[in-house]
């Protein structure tokens, strides 16, 4: 089985040798089974010289191509135009990443055991700035296997690095190519339009793709948010393209596509990203973007928003946009069944000292709200205790702020049973959970002991 590995190169003089060496040192015989196609995308550093040195050393196995800078999509396409006729598998590696030593051997074994499968992928692990597995690696926990995207909608895939395709898809008359009109997501679009047609792909669990998270935040991914095309154009040309492809093939937006797009569009809500939009887009462009964002979210079922692994306030934000559109509408939530939590409950002399908060997914306390305890027919307002700021803002809307949720109080020891309540700044009064401080004290003590036991302190 012969491999063609395509590496687009742009100003990667610090990293490219490591990427190439990770292929040279594969457990599969390099000279007999592998070709590397290095495509220099107009580098202005020493990358071309490094690539040319490797090509001169392995003239039968390493091809060097250069072009004017035009982005990774064009560079990968140029590499695809130069794969050998006897190539069986085409794989992709970025110039600042590298592969585990057993990768090609494991990919070969997988394809030999699953000849009908046209695409196989390997798990991704970050390194350098962070050292963590990618959050989508759960797909590999069951070992090598075939995934059917119509059955496992959560088994989504984005990253072209570590993808290995049957080479015929790049050499036949309907040649598969990256869309060079896109500045972002061109790899995810190629992968997922391919998967919509072929439905199944393989996961190879024992190989590894090492994805560099650079210490200096200068990569294309991090700079993308400052480009206009990252907003309305991306929704139109990327998200809606895969949505429309799903409708064309399956007659609907299948759960896989819903989960895929929602998973990715959550990036717009991240604190480090969501304010940049106001620096990049004009008022008219902002209105166009928000209108299209709402149109996009209306394509999806609420179920696939709720099932995302992301903070609850992101989910609530998207669900509200889906219901009410833009501008964002803050619902008045029913808080009757929500609970005040006690974090400290202790006897000090003849008094109980209590601390706690009213934090929940349904209601965010405002500065004018007051918590109280009700004993008999009397209410006693609690002193506020300011909590550390956990402010979260999405596109000008405060979606989480616990600053006003804390309280503390001193209560006579014989008043161990009472009911919490809240008087909202609009005058509405709501009774909440009832409390027995003796039981609460015992529960907190048990929780503390369990924590200490886990830490090996008792």
3-state secondary structure of 424: coil
Q: Which of 67, 78, 241, 83 is nearest to 172 (CA)?
A: 83
Q: Which of 390, 382, 377 is nearest to 422 (CA)?
A: 382
The reported pLDDT for the residue numbered 66 is 95
Q: Which residues contact 109 (CB under 8 A, 6 or more apart)?
A: none
Cα separation, 20 vs 29, in Å, equals: 14
Do residues 167 and 207 lie in contact, with contact meaning Cβ atoms separated by under 8 Å? no
Class of domain 341-454: mainly beta
**pLDDT, tens digit only, all 458 positions of the chain:** 999 999 999 999 999 999 999 999 999 999 999 999 999 999 999 999 999 999 999 999 999 999 999 999 999 999 999 999 999 999 999 999 999 999 999 999 999 999 999 999 999 999 988 899 999 999 999 999 999 999 999 999 999 999 999 999 999 888 999 999 998 899 999 999 999 999 999 999 999 999 998 876 555 556 789 999 999 999 999 999 999 999 999 999 999 999 999 999 999 999 889 999 999 999 999 999 999 999 999 999 999 999 999 998 999 999 999 999 999 987 766 787 789 999 999 998 899 999 999 988 878 888 899 999 999 899 999 999 988 877 889 999 988 888 899 999 999 999 999 999 999 999 999 999 999 999 998 888 887 777 665 666 55
Same fold, 3-219 and 341-454: no
The reported pLDDT for the residue numbered 286 is 97
Beta strands per DSSP E along 129-208? 145-148, 163-166, 200-203
Burial of 377 (0-12, 13-18, 19+ CB in 10 A): exposed
**DSSP output for 359-417:** --SS----TT-EEEEEETTEEEEPEE-PPPP--EEETTEEEE--TT-EEEEEEETT--E
Cα separation, 183 vs 179, in Å, equals: 9
pTM for the predicted model, two decimal places:
0.87
Cα separation, 396 vs 381, in Å, equals: 32
Helices (H) and strands (E) in the chain, counts: 17, 21
Cα separation, 374 vs 322, in Å, equals: 39
Q: Which residues contact 52 (CB under 8 A, 6 or more apart)?
A: 64
pLDDT, tens digit (0-9, with 9 covering 90-100), for 54-78: 999 999 999 999 999 999 999 999 9
Cα separation, 214 vs 127, in Å, equals: 8
The reported pLDDT for the residue numbered 452 is 62
Structure tokens at 104: 């090609």
Structure tokens at 378: 């009397």
Q: For the CA atoms of 444, 450, 454, 455, what is the dihedral angle to 10 degrees? A: 50
What is the helix (H) or strand (E) element at residue 289, kind and residue range?
helix 283-297
Domain residue ranges in the chain? 3-219, 227-324, 341-454
Cα separation, 277 vs 383, in Å, equals: 40
CATH fit for domain 3-219, picks 3.40.50.2300, 3.40.50.920, 3.40.640.10, 3.90.550.10? 3.90.550.10
């Amino acid at each position: 089985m012969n491999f063609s590995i395509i590496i687009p190169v742009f100003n990667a003089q610090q990293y490219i040798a490591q990427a190439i060496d990770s292929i040279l040192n594969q457990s599969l015989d390099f000279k007999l089974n592998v070709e590397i196609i290095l495509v220099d995308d107009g580098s202005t550093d020493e990358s071309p010289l490094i690539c040319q040195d490797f090509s001169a050393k392995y003239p039968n196995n390493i091809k060097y191509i250069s072009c004017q800078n035009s982005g990774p999509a064009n560079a990968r396409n140029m590499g695809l135009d130069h794969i050998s006729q006897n190539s069986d598998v085409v794989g992709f590696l970025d110039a600042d990443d590298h592969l585990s030593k057993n990768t090609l051997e494991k990919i070969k074994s997988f394809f030999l055991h699953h000849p009908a499968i046209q695409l196989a992928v390997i798990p991704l692990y970050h390194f350098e700035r962070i050292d963590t597995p990618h959050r989508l690696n759960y797909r590999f926990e069951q070992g090598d296997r075939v995934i059917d995207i119509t059955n496992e909608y959560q088994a989504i895939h984005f990253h072209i690095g570590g993808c290995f395709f049957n080479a015929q898809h790049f050499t036949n008359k309907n040649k598969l190519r990256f869309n060079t009109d896109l500045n972002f997501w061109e790899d995810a679009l190629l992968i997922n339009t391919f998967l919509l047609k072929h439905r199944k792909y393989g996961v190879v669990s024992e190989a590894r793709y090492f994805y560099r998270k650079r210490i200096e935040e200068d990569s294309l991914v991090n700079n993308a948010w400052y480009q206009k095309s990252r907003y309305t154009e991306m929704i139109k040309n990327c998200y809606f393209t895969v949505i429309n492809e799903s409708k064309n093939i399956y007659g609907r937006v299948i759960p896989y596509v819903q989960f895929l797009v929602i998973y990715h569009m959550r990036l717009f809500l991240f604190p480090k990203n969501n304010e940049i939009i106001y620096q990049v887009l004009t008022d008219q462009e902002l209105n166009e973007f928000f209108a299209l964002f709402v149109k996009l979210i209306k394509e999806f079922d609420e179920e696939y928003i709720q099932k995302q692994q992301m903070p609850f306030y992101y989910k609530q934000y998207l669900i509200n946009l889906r219901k009410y559109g833009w501008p964002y509408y803050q619902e008045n939530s029913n808080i009757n069944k929500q609970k005040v939590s006690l974090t400290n409950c202790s006897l000090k002399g003849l008094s109980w000292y209590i601390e706690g908060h009213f934090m929940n997914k349904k209601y965010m306390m405002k500065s004018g709200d007051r918590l109280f305890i009700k004993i008999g027919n009397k209410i006693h307002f609690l002193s506020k205790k300011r909590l550390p700021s956990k402010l979260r803002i999405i596109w000008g809307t405060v979606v989480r702020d616990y600053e006003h949720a804390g309280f503390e109080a001193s209560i006579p020891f014989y008043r161990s049973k009472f009911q919490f309540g809240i008087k909202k700044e609009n005058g509405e009064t709501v009774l909440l959970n009832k409390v027995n401080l003796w039981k609460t004290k015992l529960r907190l003590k048990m929780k503390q002991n369990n924590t200490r036991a886990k830490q090996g302190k008792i």
